[in-house]
A and B are shown apart, each in its own frame.
Chain A
Amino acid sequence: AQKITQTQPGMFVQEKEAVTLDCTYDTSDPSYGLFWYKQPSSGEMIFLIYQGSYDQQNATEGRYSLNFQKARKSANLVISASQLGDSAMYFCAMREPSNYQLIWGAGTKLIIKP
């Protein structure tokens, strides 16, 4: 069965430092997509970045990059130069190819310290 694992329930990071949020996944399907979302306290889900299983390069979106290590089945999110506004819950998710449902990790609560 497909599964997403986020092992860091919470992280404290000093402002302006880089932060890596861990995500590992399990699937037997060769075609899959991996997502990262940010959920601030307001509750909205904000799309950050996407990585397809066949993408040759790691995805990047501004300060966000995805460290995709296919053999290790990991898709860690890297946030460079963290800002106070980055404080939020972060979820890793994987798309099921059969029905397009998203499988969600437990999330990581990131707190940026000034």
Chain B
Amino acid sequence: GAVVSQHPSRVICKSGTSVKIECRSLDFQATTMFWYRQFPKKSLMLMATSNEGSKATYEQGVEKDKFLINHASLTLSTLTVTSAHPEDSSFYICSARDRNRAEHYGYTFGSGTRLTVV
């Protein structure tokens, strides 16, 4: 079945450094990638939507210079948290959509990345 590999699953970084999170679709083409942020015991909050080969569309209130999203190929999308601060600590999860795939009705989620900034 469709699988999205998300790495790392957990990362601890120092304040001021940058962290890159990768999502790879293993056996399908991720024409669209959604990036979410989730606070403890809360719902998923959409950060941005990216289509392969084009710039990401960010949701209102999300700093595009801080959360850099790259979707250069149909199998890889990355989220880079630049100059991370403790308030960026959160659970980040990606969801890939393949418009040609009916499995799970088109959405496949990564396993998530728990980011802690100290």
Contact = CB atoms under 8 A, between A and B. Distances in A.
A89, A91, A100 — which one has the most chain B CB atoms within 10 A of its CB?
A: A100
Interface residues of A, number: 20
21 contacts: A33-B105, A35-B105, A42-B111, A43-B91, A43-B93, A43-B112, A43-B114, A45-B95, A45-B109, A91-B43, A91-B44, A100-B99, A101-B34, A101-B46, A101-B49, A102-B34, A102-B95, A105-B43, A106-B42, A106-B43, A107-B41
B32 interface: yes
B24 interface: no
Nearest to B114: A43
B91 A104 contact: no
Interface string B16-53: 00000000000000001010001001111010010000
Contact of B41 (A44, A47, A109): A109
B107 interface: yes
A47 B107 contact: yes
A85 B105 CA distance: 24
Nearest 4 A/B pairs, CB to CB: A45-B109, A43-B112, A47-B104, A104-B43
B106 interface: yes
Given A44-B109, A44-B111, A99-B49, A107 B34 contact: no
Interface string A23-54: 00000000001010000001111010010000
A47 B95 CA distance: 12
Of B38, B105, B106, B114, the most chain A CB neighbours within 10 A belong to: B105
